[in-house]
Amino acid sequence: MLTLRTMVSSNGHNGEIERRENTQTPAEDFPPELLIKHPLQNTWTLWYFELDKSKSWEESQREITSFDTAEDFWSMYHHIKTASELKNGCDYSMFKQGIRPMWEDKANKQGGRWLINLDKKQRSTELDHFWLEILLCMIGEGFNEYSDDICGAVVNVRPRTDKIAVWTGDASVQASVMEIGRKLKERLKITPKITIGYQVHKDTMVQKGSTTKNTYVI
């Protein structure tokens, strides 16, 4: 498997998302029991978005790498910039393999997202923690029997308000959507006084103003 450093460099974006030098220890230096990888239930794909005015929004979405073991996840995570280190206007998305991080994808178009807004002050204190916890919850099937309903997650780094969203595949299944929202708040230790909202993608696509109504709130 190619390292993330190699793949990113081949796309010409090593300066934007690469974080650390890729130092590797030869496999023969490790005892055999440490070379056994722990498979994940799903294969996941990391995407990176940086607006390029010469390309469409969809073309600006870059598929970086896919992984299907816990060890390969950590290898990826430790070789890229954290969310808080991204430039304003950039996104990370992590979705199950085969699902593109866009409303129009067939796996997403009937779904929606739990949305968490973080003000600029929280970028240095909570953004990276929240994002990592959500990634770990997803790859570890931490939403229990509703984990199959998870499509992926997106973090948007913006000048005023950063956003993290967990996308689900079917907005009409209220029991699943609500339980995923409860688990999300529990995992992130969001206090009961703070509410988060679930927005249906179809509503977001036709919104006329800057905000979309919440279909569910928890």
Q: Please give the chain's pLDDT, 218 residues, in tens.
A: 333 333 333 344 444 555 544 455 565 565 665 568 899 999 999 999 998 888 888 889 999 999 999 999 999 999 999 999 999 999 999 999 999 999 999 999 999 999 999 998 999 999 999 999 999 999 999 999 999 999 999 999 999 999 999 999 999 999 999 999 999 999 999 999 999 999 999 988 876 556 779 999 99
One-character DSSP codes across 45-60: EEEEE---TTS-TTTT
Model pTM? 0.84
State the pLDDT at residue 16: 53
State the pLDDT at residue 1: 35
State the pLDDT at residue 211: 73
State the pLDDT at residue 139: 98
Distance from C-alpha of 77 to C-alpha of 104, rounded to nearest angstrom = 27
Residues whose CB falls within 8 Å of the CB of residue 130, separated by 6 or more in sequence, listed in order: 116, 118, 164, 188
Longest dimension (CA), the chain: 59
State the pLDDT at residue 3: 33
**Which one, of 45, 158, 169, lies nearest residue 113 by Cα?**
169
Is 202:154 a contact under the CB 8 Å cutoff?
no
Residues whose CB falls within 8 Å of the CB of residue 215, separated by 6 or more in sequence, listed in order: 112, 171, 197, 198, 199, 200, 203
Question: Beta 39-49 vs 161-168: how paired, if at all?
Answer: unpaired
